[in-house]
Amino acid sequence: MNVRSCSLFVAAALAAFLLVFAHAQTPAAGQQQPRQNQGQRQRQPRQGQSQRQAQQQLPARPAGREKELLLNDKGYFERPGVNVLVFSNAFTGGFNDEKNSGIEIIHHGVRTVQGGAVRLGKTPEQWDLVPASPSRRVNPENNSIEVTMRYNDYRFDSRVVVTGKGSAVEISVYLDQPIPEALVGQAGFNLEFLPSQYWNKTYIMDGRFRRFPRYAASDTEAVPNEKKPMQYRGFRTYDDRDTGKFVDPLPLDKGNSIVIAPDAPERMIKITSDEATLELYDGRILAQNGWYVLRSPLPANKTGKVITWTVEPHAVPGWIREPNIGFSQVGYVPDQPKVAVIELDKSDRVIANAAIFRIGEDGTEKLAYQGKTSLWGEYYKYKYVKFDFSEVKKPGIYYIRYGDHKTGNFIIDDSVYNWITNATSDVWIPIHMNHMTVNEAYRVWHGEPFKEGYLQAPPSNHFDNHFQGTNTGIKPDGTHYEPYELIPGLNVGGYFDAGDFDIETGANINVVSTLISAWELFRNKRDETFVSEEQRYVDLHRPDGKPDMLQYIEHGVLNLVAQAENIGFMSSTLSNSVLDNYHHLGDAAAITDGLHYDPSLKKYEVSEDGKRSGTPDDMWAFTNRNPGPDPGTAAMFAAAARVLKGYNDELAERCLKQSQKLMGTNPRGNMNLLLQLYRTTGEKEYRDMFEQLIWQSMGRNANGGIRTALDAIPYMDADYKKRLEPYVKQFKEYMDNFDRLNPYGVPIGEGNWAGSGSVVSFGATACLANIYFPDIIDKSYAYKAASFMFGCHPYHNYSLVAAVGAARPKEVFYGNNRADFSFIPGNVAPGVLFRRPDHFENFDDWPFLWGQNEGTIAGNCGYLIFGEALKTMAKKK
C-alpha cells in the first residue's frame, strides 16, 4: 500500500530529509536544511521586528457572528473548534493519495476529514489518479473559495465552490462539460473521514440508525476491468490473478442526509444534499489505509451546478483546546536545563505559575518546585508558554502540574539516557535485515526473503519512481546482463528501506557509513543479537560473542560489495517487479515465491522439479550507470575495509578492492573520500587535500560543513582544531537562532516528510561540538533536541521513539508492522508533520500517514548515532 512513500521520498520530493542523514557522506548537510527549508524562511522575522511581533493577528471577528464559519486571513474557514480548509494542501501527484489534500476539516484540533475533491473512484487508493488544481481563488467578499480540478489523462475539468453559510459550508460542484463517458459511475465528489476517529461511533442516514464498522467487512462486487478508470502511469493495483475483473466496494448506506457521530460532540457533522444521493463507503475494503468515504456520483450528460452539499461540523460551545504540556518523557539528568513548553489555544488564558510534584517512595505526592511561566509568543495557530524547572535536580520521580492539568511522570536521574538506543539497536535494526530469518523469543518477525535472487530490470518506468534505461546486455558502461537475466549473488545482506522491502542502495550506503561513524566514535560493544550469515538467521536478545554494531556493518556491506562485484558498479535499487508485491503488508518472505521465474510456464504454474514458476514475482535490480555517487561509495568501502580488518579480513579485502575501483583516478573532489583515504592509508597527501577542501567549504558555509570538520578532529593536529574555533562560534549563532524561530529551539521542518531527521542530526552535531569545544558550545542545544524527540514538541507530548520514554511513547507507527496499529520498538517517527497553512500533527491512532509515522533505516541509524553521542555527552563532566 502506501509504501511507495519511502523510495519516492528518497527519489524526489523528500530528498531534503535524506540529506540530513547524509552526513557520513556529505557531513553536516543536515545543518543546512533548516535554512533551505522554505517554511523556515517564511518564519524569518521581518527586519526590525522580533519573531513574536512578526506573527500575524487574526482579524477581529464581527460581534454576533461567533458561530459562523468565516474566511480568515490564512485562507480557510474558521470558527472556534472548526477549521474548513479548501485545497490549502493540493494533491501533488507525487504520492497520488497521501490523505493530506483537497477539502479538509480540522475538528476540535484533529484533522478528521480530508480528500474532498472530484475523484475517479469510490474509495481511491494510492495509485489512483488525483486532480491537479490549476486555479484556487479565495473570495473574501462572498466568503467563498473556488478551485478548478483537472484530470489531464481524461481532459476532464470540474470546479468546486465552497461557501461559508452560517455555521455550515455549502460545497457545490460545477461541470462546464458533461463528464467523459468512461468515467460515468466512477467519477464523483468524495469526502473522506478518518476511520480511527469514527469507528464504533454512530451515524444516522435518512433517519436510519447505524454504527461505523470497527473493521472492514462490507459488501463488494467484481466488475469487468474495462470499467476501471486509468491509474497512475497505467499501473494497476487490481486483478493480479488475471480474473478480468476488479473489486469495487458497495455502499454501507445511501440517502440524502447523514448525521455523523451524534454520540460524540467533538466529531459530529451533519451533511445534507439537495438532489444528489450521498453514498457511504468503507475504503479499508480495498486498502488497509482507506478511509470512510462519503460521495455523490457525478450525473451523466449534465452541466452546470451538479452537486450541492451542506456540511455543518458541530462546534462544542466554548471549546478551548487542552494545553499540550511538552516535556521529555525519557526524563532529565540532574544538571541539564529542564524547560517544559506548553502549547495553548490562542483563546486560552496563560496561567502565571506551574509546579513540579515529586512522587515519594510511599506513593505520596509532594510539591517540589513552583515557578513562573513565561510567554514565548505565537507560532502558527497556537501560543506558547515556557516553564523552566531546571532548579529541580534531586533524583526522583516527578510530574508537572499546570492549572488543572497534570502530566505523566518522568524521572530525574543520572541514568535516564542509558537505555535510549537499546530498542533501536537490539530490535528495530536487526528486524530490518534483509535475506535473513529474524526471530525474537517465540515470535518470527520474518522469514528469509527473496531466495530466488534478483533479475536485471528491463527498460522501464517503475511505480516506485525508479527508472531502468537501456544499458543492459553487454553495453559499454553497462551491465553484462540481458533484461530478466539473473544477476548472481545479490540476495545477501542489506537492509529493508522502511515500510517497504526494497534495498535502496543510497540509503544502505548511508546506513553503513553512519554505523561505521558510530562504531569508531563510541565503540559500543553491546552484544544482544545473534547473527549468522551462514545460517541466514538472526535471533534477538541472544548474545553471540560479537559486537552487534560490527555485525550490522558487515550485513550492510555484504549486499553493497555484492552489487559492486556482480554488476560492476552500484545499482540504484533492488526493488519489486510488480505493484502487488510492492504494496505488500506482512512477512517479507511471502512477497515472492522463492522460485525462479520461468516465462515458458503458464502464469502461476510451478515446474515439475519445483524450482521454477510462471509467477512473475522475482525482484529486479535497477542498474543505470551513474558515476556521480562513486566517490561517496568508495569512501564508504574504504572506511568499511578499515573497520572490518581483524573482524572479517576477507570482506575487508573485498571492500578495499571495490573502493579502489570506484574512486576513479581523481579522488580530489570529495572531502569525505579524502578523509577516509587518509585514515585508511595514513598518507599525508590525502590529509593536505582534505584540509584544502574543508577550509574552502567552511569559508563558504560553516554550518554546512561543520559536521565533517568535527568528524575529522581525532585524526588531525592541534592547529586544525584551533583553526576550527571561529567556525564553531558561527555554528553557535546559527543554533541560537532557532530559539527565535520557534518555541522549541530546534530546526522544525515543514516539508512533506516531517522533520525528526533534522532534529537528530542537529542534536548529534551539537553533542560532538560540545564534546570537542565545551567552552563554546554548552550541552543545552543537544538536550533541546533530545527533549523534542522525547515529547517536548507540537501537537502532543508523546515520545517520537517507539518504546522509549516510559510514561507515554507513541504507540502507533508505520513500518513492517504497518497494518497492525502497533510499533516496532526503537522506531523513530518522522514526527510532527506540517500541513499548510498552520497545522502540525502526528496521529497516534492511525499508522498509515508515512510522512508522520514511517521509520526508515537511514533515519533510525541517524537516531542511533545521536543517541550514542548524547549518552557520551551526558556522562561528561
Interface with Ca ion by CB under 5 A: which residues? 6-7, 452, 497, 500, 502, 527, 529, 544, 546, 548, 592-593, 595, 617-618
Please state, as a whole number, how many other Cβ atoms lie within 10 Å of the Cβ of residue 729.
14
Nearer to Ca ion, 7 or 434 (CB): 7
C-beta of 248 vs 452, nearer to Ca ion = 452
In the complex, least distance from residue 503 CB atom to Ca ion, rounded to whole angstroms: 9
Q: How far is the CB of 554 from Ca ion (least distance, A)?
A: 11
Name the percent of the chain in helix, strand, coil, to the closest 5: 30, 25, 45
* Closer residue to Ca ion (CB): 452 or 533: 452
User: Would you state the cell numbers that stand for residue 75, as one nine-digit string?
Assistant: 485562507
- Which helix (H) or strand (E) element contains residue 71? strand 70-71
Which of 569, 550, 541, 545 minimizes the C-alpha distance to 512? Answer: 550
Alpha-carbon distance of 79 to 66, in angstroms, equals 7
User: DSSP 3-state assignment of 180?
Assistant: coil
* Residue 593 C-beta: closest distance to Ca ion, Å: 5
State which residue, 282 or 617, has the beta carbon closest to Ca ion. Answer: 617
Instruction: Give every CB contact of residue 404 below 8 A, 6+ residues apart in sequence.
Output: none
Q: Whose Cβ is closer to Ca ion: residue 595's or residue 754's? A: 595
Q: Whose Cβ is closer to Ca ion: residue 617's or residue 750's?
A: 617
State which residue, 6 or 789, has the beta carbon closest to Ca ion.
Answer: 6
Torsion of CA 116, 120, 126, 129, to 10 degrees: -100
CA 65 to CA 696: how far, in whole Å?
Answer: 60
Q: Which three cell numbers stand for residue 102?
A: 483537497
CA-based nearest residue to 35, from 702, 747, 781: 747
- For residue 156, the minimal CB distance to Ca ion (Å) is 32
DSSP secondary structure, 406-464, as one string? EPPPEEESTTTTTTTTHHIIIIIHHHTBTTSEEEETTEEEE----TT-EEEPPSEE-TT
Strands 324-326 and 339-345: antiparallel
In the complex, what is the shortest distance from the CB of residue 543 to Ca ion, in angstroms, rounded to a whole number? 6
How far is it, in rounded angstroms, from Cα 575 to Cα 496? 10
Which residues, including other chains, have CB under 8 Å from residue 762's CB and lie 6 or more apart? 30, 31, 34, 735, 746, 747, 781, 785
Q: 756-772 and 780-789 helices cross at what angle (nearest 10)?
A: 150
In angstroms, the CA 136 to CA 118 distance is 15
Give the nearest distance from C-beta 849 to Ca ion in angstroms.
17
The distance of closest approach from Cβ of residue 545 to Ca ion in the complex, given in angstroms and rounded to an integer, is 7
The residue among 424 and 529 lying less far from Ca ion, judged by its C-beta, is 529
Minimum CB separation from Ca ion for residue 456, in Å?
15
Tell me the three cell numbers of residue 377. Answer: 509568543
Q: Where are the alpha helices (DSSP H) in 568-609?
A: 579-582
Q: Report DSSP letters for 457-479, one per residue.
A: PPSEE-TTS-EE-S--SS-TTS-
Q: Which is nearer to Ca ion, 620 or 795 (CB)?
A: 620
d(CA 550, CA 644): 7
Residue with smaller CB distance to Ca ion, 90 or 595:
595
- Closer residue to Ca ion (CB): 618 or 844: 618
Tell which residue, 291, 308, 290, has the closest CA to residue 299.
308
Shorter beta-carbon distance to Ca ion: residue 413 or 527: 527
Closest approach, Cβ 651 to Ca ion, in A, equals 16
Burial 682-712 (b: 16+ CB within 10 A, else e): eeeebbebbbebbbebbeebbbbbbbbbbbb
State whether residue 114 is helix, strand or coil: strand
Name which of 127 and 198 has its Cβ closer to Ca ion. Answer: 127
Measured from the CB of residue 804, what is the shortest distance to Ca ion in angstroms?
21
Secondary structure (3-state) at 233: helix
Least CB distance to Ca ion at residue 575 (A): 7
Neighbour count for residue 178 (Cβ, 10 Å): 15
Q: How far is the CB of 856 from Ca ion (least distance, A)?
A: 8
Q: Which CB, 6 or 340, lies closer to Ca ion?
A: 6
Which is nearer to Ca ion, 322 or 528 (by Cβ)?
A: 528
The number of C-alpha atoms within 13 Å of 278 and in the hemisphere containing its C-beta is 24
CA-based Rg of the chain, rounded to a whole angstrom?
Answer: 28
Residue 551 Cβ, how far from Ca ion at the closest point, in Å?
A: 5
- Least separation in angstroms between residue 826's CB and Ca ion is 16
Q: How far is the CB of 118 from Ca ion (least distance, A)?
A: 30
Nearer Cβ to Ca ion (7/758): 7
In this structure, what C-alpha cell is assigned to residue 433? 535485515
Query: What is each CA distance from 178 to 182, 278, 308, 794, in whole angstroms?
Result: 11, 20, 17, 46
* Distance between CA atoms of residues 125 and 192, nearest Å: 12
Minimum distance from CB of 668 to Ca ion (Å)? 33
The residues, any chain, with a CB within 8 Å of residue 24's CB and separated by 6 or more, are 510, 513, 514, 516, 517, 636, 672
Q: Which is nearer to Ca ion, 248 or 502 (CB)?
A: 502
Least Å distance, CB 538 to Ca ion, is 10
Which of 434, 447, 450, 436 lies closest to 597 in space, CA to CA?
A: 450
Residue nearest to Ca ion (CB): 7
Question: Smallest distance, Å, CB 513 to Ca ion?
Answer: 19
Query: Considering beta carbons, is residue 6 or 675 the nearer one to Ca ion?
Result: 6
Nearest CA to 27 out of 519, 510, 421, 495 is that of 510
Q: How far is CA 762 from the centre of its chain?
A: 17
